[in-house]
Structure 1
């Protein structure tokens, strides 16, 4: 349990262990292994910390939008939500997480689905969702609950990587790996919709802009400007006086918005730097792992690896998913849905970005808009269906409920109910 809770729950250690195993399999010496492992782990940490902090920088928008729509504010304290959410399922969650990874490795070794899910932070929270659905939706005793949950998690880790891999071939910068992320069903739906209704000849990343605006092609610059303008507009609508009293701590809204935009741009730069550092090491190391330990296996990695090649899709995907989520929220309010739901902004940014990337890759501008908009609808309506099913796990799902949670969670909950809680 010490290893599960303190080592294997940290994705950076999983990545480091894989690199060590791969390089040992290639008969590398310790002086070659050590710097490569350190670079990979630093690169991954830059991506992970950058992604988490970037997502956290969006959280003030939640209170601002709640004010605009006159809705009760939802807590955005991730630490408190995680502590509250683990009440009653912590042990089951940890064991399902560890044994689910083992199931994934066995499936990769002995079946034709050669995908190793390396995003441990993703599978950790998904283990919590499965544990909550089984704990609060069934009568299973501890041991069968853990076994059932581990099998479900292992299957999810393997097959979500597998069907995303089908659509990776046309994505720039996606060579040599697949994605291991809880936006997988959004990626699948976005890609299929883009192929059906889009036109890949109209690439969102090839927009014609005047020469003097060419600087907007740089992701750091464009995202900084867009997020500054977004914060400023929503601040003005919320009301400068209310903003100073409730959000900015007395700071002027123009300064507040500009600092938020700069922070966003800075963390995107950290992510891009981490992507380059990590990819330069892990792909070659994983070849050794694949050749000797799990032949022909493919690593499943996190979605920010694709961001540098798709700056326009990242911006448009977030905004499109956010608009869809706000529309869904208003629909639920109009029909007096009994559970108050709000677009979770961290998932809206990351899943919106990646669904737009795949939508654009397979169907151009139209595909990016359609795919990310449908993703936003899945996020809001799926969250509304999921929250009543998961007991104490609801607080963290209000903040981190990504597309797979919102789509697969209610389906699993209905299946368990259909079978009478087993």
Structure 2
């Protein structure tokens, strides 16, 4: 029995390290399985695997390029001004758990991967029995799963310290698996509408946020329509700017100029000397040579934003079609009425491209105002803006808000999100003790939904576990009751869904 368990754990360890937590291979693996279930020739299945894997690798190049270029600039504010501060960034959050979980709770970080296994299996089971659970999305973004499992592990140890090791892993594994299934399921409608039946959901860190932004955007549009029946809601793409401002109608040009202004100011504040010394040695980023032009260094760094965004969008276009087509085999056989949940970056290839930049900038404005307020009111935890929450949360909120309610919503909702991210992260990171290790996950759901769950778990104990589970299980049931006739049709045949709902 022990030998069999060791073999199974060895297989899981290999799968987790090489496929599950490597999103490109996970997506390629899903495509391969999907085509094999459709009984396609092996060479077609192999071609699909390669195209999907390479496409996702292209996306990762663009995504990593954005993060590695701009994370050091924002994190540099902490080092440059000698702040004792917490960076809101999933990787800083994961590092905080790695460093602090043994010191704080006497537990090993190795349990995080076991927790991830339980959560992933539970997510699949919930979707397999979609007839009863009404859940339709499988969370496939492995790197995000590791980050969330780490923070969830810390939260359950903090909230219910009396739990034994097995109980901790089972309780949080089930709750996290529920969150993955329910959260990604909530994104299906807004993402299907944004992509015109793209056939995927979002599996990331702002799934409840996407659903909330879509709901608020619809309310804003309804209110605007009632106010002026003759005036159609204007999206960002509907504005034709006059004179020299027309250059902002071109997405790449607008992105380059706005990022040069935004990051140029921050880089000037940090100063030339900072870039010629600190990050070359301690952060692995490309620094500034002593005899190089600081102006062109700022220019090159800022323009790389537009370059990496274009690379990211190319990657999305390369793999999404392959994934959507192949997943039919899985949906028809193993997991009926289901779609894959993938990285939020996939949304950036759809909708108005300037909405990505506008969402980022207004989210940044909200974050910086909130950080200023924390300093003004002497908060015990000062937050440093992390690039991943700053961009990946607020950019998608801008895209969805613009698509549903126009330009005004694309500015207002990311701005409010920026404030929520900072205030929510400061409160929860201070309370649960992660702030002193310098990082917290910081994404929208983990600044709103998970703090609420933590309060319930901390003060209601075992009853709180049941309450959180019931809340999560009830959400898809309520969604289903709104439109039982078309609920599953939306993922089975989107064109038919559109025809029926239009009638």
Q: TM-score, normalised by structure 2?
A: 0.76
- Sort the Cα spacing of 1:172 and 1:215 in 2 relative to 1 into closer, same or farther, 3 A: farther
Mapped partners of 2:450, 2:320: distance in 1: 32
Out of 243, 259, 264, which is 1:227 matched to? 259
- Sort the Cα spacing of 1:412 and 1:128 in 2 relative to 1 into closer, same or farther, 3 A: same
- The answer for unaligned runs of 5 or more in structure 2 is 1-8, 100-106, 225-231, 280-286, 464-503
Report whether the alignment pairs 1:153 with 2:185. no
- Sort the Cα spacing of 1:387 and 1:421 in 2 relative to 1 into closer, same or farther, 3 A: farther
- Sort the Cα spacing of 1:190 and 1:299 in 2 relative to 1 into closer, same or farther, 3 A: same
How much does 1:256 deviate? 1.5
Aligned partner of 2:444 in structure 1 is 403
| Bigger mean CA deviation after superposition, 40-49 or 57-66 | 57-66
Mapped partners of 2:126, 2:422: distance in 1: 33
- Sort the Cα spacing of 1:395 and 1:421 in 2 relative to 1 into closer, same or farther, 3 A: farther
Out of 36, 57, 71, which is 1:24 matched to? 36
Aligned partner of 1:131 in structure 2 is 153
- Partner of 1:170, secondary structure, is helix
Out of 60, 77, 97, which is 1:48 matched to? 60
Deviation sequence 1:261-304 (CA, Å, 0-9, x none): 23222211221111111013111101111111111211112222
Mapped partners of 1:341, 1:285: distance in 2: 43
Aligned partner of 1:110 in structure 2 is 129
Q: How does 1:252-271 map to 2 (within 5 A)?
A: 252-271=293-312
Aligned partner of 1:357 in structure 2 is 399
Mapped partners of 1:217, 1:350: distance in 2: 22
Q: How well do the aligned residues superpose, as a CA RMSD in angstroms?
A: 2.9
- Sort the Cα spacing of 1:205 and 1:77 in 2 relative to 1 into closer, same or farther, 3 A: closer
Q: How does 1:1-400 map to 2 (within 5 A)?
A: 1=9, 2-3=13-14, 4-63=16-75, 65=77, 71-72=83-84, 82-87=94-99, 88-111=107-130, 112-138=134-160, 139-172=162-195, 175-198=198-221, 199=224, 201-209=233-241, 216-239=248-271, 249=288, 250=290, 251-309=292-350, 310-391=352-433, 395=437, 397-398=439-440, 400=441
- Sort the Cα spacing of 1:74 and 1:416 in 2 relative to 1 into closer, same or farther, 3 A: closer
- Sort the Cα spacing of 1:302 and 1:77 in 2 relative to 1 into closer, same or farther, 3 A: closer
How much does 1:135 deviate? 1.8
How much does 1:63 deviate? 4.7
- Sort the Cα spacing of 1:353 and 1:89 in 2 relative to 1 into closer, same or farther, 3 A: farther
Mapped partners of 1:60, 1:173: distance in 2: 37
- Partner of 2:414, secondary structure, is helix
- Sort the Cα spacing of 1:179 and 1:79 in 2 relative to 1 into closer, same or farther, 3 A: closer
Indicate conservation of the 8 Å contact 2:90/2:388, yes or no. no
Number of aligned residues:
421
| Bigger mean CA deviation after superposition, 306-315 or 140-149 | 306-315
Deviation sequence 1:216-236 (CA, Å, 0-9, x none): 555444323322232223334
Deviation sequence 1:362-411 (CA, Å, 0-9, x none): 2101111121112112210111122134446975744x421111112311
- Sort the Cα spacing of 1:63 and 1:11 in 2 relative to 1 into closer, same or farther, 3 A: closer
Mapped partners of 2:430, 2:123: distance in 1: 29
Indicate conservation of the 8 Å contact 1:185/1:407, yes or no. no
- Sort the Cα spacing of 1:393 and 1:72 in 2 relative to 1 into closer, same or farther, 3 A: closer
Mapped partners of 1:130, 1:215: distance in 2: 45
